[in-house]
Amino acid sequence: MKGTYLGEFEEVVLLAVAIRDGDAYGAAVVNEIEQQMGRSVNLGAVHSALHRLQEKGLVKSEMGGISPERGGRRKRLYSVTAYGRRVLEEVRQLRNQMWDAIPRTAWS
């Protein structure tokens, strides 16, 4: 297993997989990110991130069924593993903890 450090883009992709629970495949993740963040991403970048996440054990994948809109081609469906969920929560917690530590005066 590679290091568990989660990059910014990896985090975004992992979140997108979590959002699209049960129907997270390459194109869907691209759409999700584009909609949520309003920026265009390359399919290659997404797949690369998914590949890395899988190697780190944060997501798992299985081949889905045949769908007619893809010309009979199969999808690889990703889902967040328990470890992945824990890492997400840890990240979130870390963020919150840091948010809380910001002094009020800092905003003025």
Partner 1 sequence: MRSAPTPPRFAQRLLRWFCAPHRLDELEGDLDELFQQRAQEVGLRRARWRYWRDVLSLMRPFVIKRQHTDYPRPTNTTMIRNYLTVAFRNLAKNRVYSFINIFGLASGMAVAMLIGLWVYDELSFNKQFKNHDRLAMLWQFVKFDVEKASYDVMPIPLAQELRSNYPDFEAVGLSKTRNVIVAAGERKLLKTGNYVEPDFIDMLSLNVVAGTRFGSNDVNTILLSQSLANAMFGTGNPLNKLIKLDNKQTVKVAGVYKDFPANSTFTDVTFLVPWKFFAANDENAKLDQNEWDSNSYQIFVQLRPEADFDQVSAKIKDIRMKRDNPPGYKPEFFLHPMAKWHLFGDFKDGVNTGGLITFVWLFGSIGVIVLLLACINFMNLSTARSEKRAKEVGIRKALGSLRSQLISQFFSESLLIALLSFVLAILFVQLTLPFFNQVAEKQVTILWANPWFWFAGLGFSLLTGLIAGSYPALYLSSFQPVKVLKGILRANRSATIPRRVLVGFQFTVSVTLIIGTIIVFRQIEHAKDRPVGYNRSGLIEIGMNAPELYRHYTALRKDLLNTGAIVDMAESSNSITEQSGGTTAISWKGKKTGSKPLVMSNYVTHDYGKTVGWQLKEGRDFSRAYSTDTASIVLNEAAVRLMGFKNPIGEVVRRGSPNRDYRVIGVVKDMVKENPFRPVSPSFFALDYGNVNTLTIRLAPQLSAHEALATIEQVFKSYSPDSPFDYKFVDDQYAQKFGTEERIGRLAGGFAVLAILISCLGLFGLASFIAEQRTKEIGIRKVLGASVFNVWRLLSKEFVALVLIAFCLGAPLAYYVLSGWLQNYEYRTDLSWWIFALAGAGALLITLLTVSYQAVRAALINPVKSLRSE
Point out which residues bind partner 1 (CB under 8 A): 25-27, 30-31, 40, 42-45, 47-48, 51, 63, 69-71, 73-76
Minimal CA–CA distance to 22: which of 99, 93, 75, 78? 78
CB of 105 to partner 1, least distance (A): 45
Pick between residue 70 and residue 85 the one whose CB is nearest to partner 1: 70
Residue pair 99/44 in contact (Cβ under 8 Å)? The answer is no
Pick between residue 1 and residue 102 the one whose CB is nearest to partner 1: 1
How many CA atoms within 13 Å lie on the side-chain side of 81? 14
CB of 33 to partner 1, least distance (A): 12
CB of 44 to partner 1, least distance (A): 3
CB of 18 to partner 1, least distance (A): 19
Minimal CA–CA distance to 79: which of 90, 88, 91? 88
Pick between residue 66 and residue 94 the one whose CB is nearest to partner 1: 66
9, two tokens: 């883009």
24 Rama sector, left if φ>0, alpha if ψ -120 to 50, beta otherwise? beta
